[in-house]
Structure 1
Amino acid sequence: MTDGTNGNAAPGGAQAPLKMQILAQYIRDMSFENVVAQKGVQGEVTPDVQVQVALDAKKRPVPNQYEVITKYNVTSRNTADKSPLYVCELEYAGIFSIENLPEEQLHPFLMIECPRMLFPYARRIVSDVTRDGGFPQLNIDNIDFVQLYRQTLLQRQAQQKAEEGAAADGGNGEA
């Protein structure tokens, strides 16, 4: 007989406490391109910095282990002529062991809580690399991973609806 708890029940029927451990953190991939040093820039430079963040998570072959990857794409452009000053790309990952978490809560946990724990380390790396690259160090603003998760879900839903609409239009026999 099953009680619907996926084996996560503690004695007495209570939910076993969440067990989460960061097993490793590491740079998966990183690049920094100093365009100013390569091409030179004439006149006054006023930087406009854009930061894009993407997230990914994968189940590992070991039970209860997941790899969470945070991807940062930082582009600085001169506001006067939109010429690039530098580009920094960082993929920072962590390996997490997660136990006693209900299946319906796993995806949000992997895409919100795990990146939140990795963020300070990725922020420091970007700060150090921009400074060492000859620019003022960039301290990335705090990221609202809950809002990022919600935006990603809405984008996926819109994409699925568009694909379903295209499939429906393609199958009606009209030319």
Structure 2
Amino acid sequence: MAEGTENGAAPQQPQVKMQVLGQFIRDMSFENIVAQKGIQGEVQPDVSVQVNLDAKKRPVDNQYEIILKFNVESKNKSDAATLFLMELEYGGIFLIENVPEEQLHPFLLIECPRMLFPFVRRIVSDVTRDGGFPPLNMENVDFLALYRQEIARRAETQQA
């Protein structure tokens, strides 16, 4: 019998609970530069996507607000003329229980955005299509890699 498992039962960790209480678009804009300026000729779009995350505690116990900020820009490959710009801030309100304090920060900035991302992808696809462009189906965002990059950037800043 293993140590600390009397009667064959291991001590139980409390079950992590994560519940999405609400989702919302906090801010969104879409500029169709092609329609405004009447760009003519061959168009070969080059799309860039920037992602930022924000998390904050809400006044209610165990509730957190996560905001995903996406800046999507499409430029013409041939002359670098901007075709469209889209900015989207998409939020979620989460109830999170039984996550150890030292694991809460990564949990909020990795797991919560993973839950929200499919909705962001759909909004971006619909808005670009409704804006007169082929629907932009964004590739998955690696929120773990983003988190690690931000931790490394903060460590460099503190050393400088």
Structure 1 length-normalised TM = 0.84
- The alignment status of 1:63 with 2:61, answered yes or no, reads yes
The equivalent of 2:48 in structure 1 is 50
Q: Kindly provide the amino acid, as one letter, of the partner of residue 61 in structure 1.
A: P
CA distance in 2, matches of 1:136, 1:160: 43
User: Root-mean-square deviation (CA), in Å?
Assistant: 1.1
Map of 1:117-132 to 2, 5 A cutoff?
117-132=115-130
Which segments of 5 or more consecutive residues in structure 1 lack a partner in the other structure? 1-11, 163-175
Task: Give the equivalent residue in structure 2 for 1:8.
Answer: none
Structure 1 counterpart of 2:5: none
SS at match of 1:101: coil
User: Any idea what SS the aligned residue of 2:132 has?
Assistant: coil
**Match of 2:91?**
93
1:13 CA drift (Å): 5.7
Alpha-carbon distance in structure 1 between the residues aligned to 2:17 and 2:50: 31
- What does residue 22 of structure 1 align with? 20
Question: How far apart are 1:157 and its partner, in Å?
Answer: 1.2
Q: Report the equivalent of 1:78.
A: 76
Specify the code of the residue in structure 2 equivalent to 1:59: K
CA drift at 1:45: 0.8
Shift of 1:122: 0.4
Which runs of 4 or more aligned residues in structure 1 lie more than 4 Å from their structure 2 counterparts after TM superposition?
A: none
Instruction: State the shift of 1:42 in Å.
Output: 2.5
Per-residue CA shift, 1:104-145, capped at 9, x if unaligned?
010010000000000000000000000000000000001111
CA deviations 1:37-77 (Å, max 9, x no partner) are 11111221110000111111000000100000111110000
Name the counterpart of 1:33: 31
Letter in 2 for 1:144: D
Counterpart secondary structure, 1:82: coil
- For residue 141 of structure 2, give the secondary structure of its aligned residue in structure 1: coil
Q: Which residue of 2 aligns with 1:112?
A: 110
2:156 aligned counterpart, secondary structure: helix
> Counterpart of 1:50 in 2: which secondary structure?
strand
Listed as ranges, the gaps of 5+ residues in structure 2 are 1-9
Kindly, what percent of the aligned residue pairs are identical? 68
SS in 2 for 1:149: helix
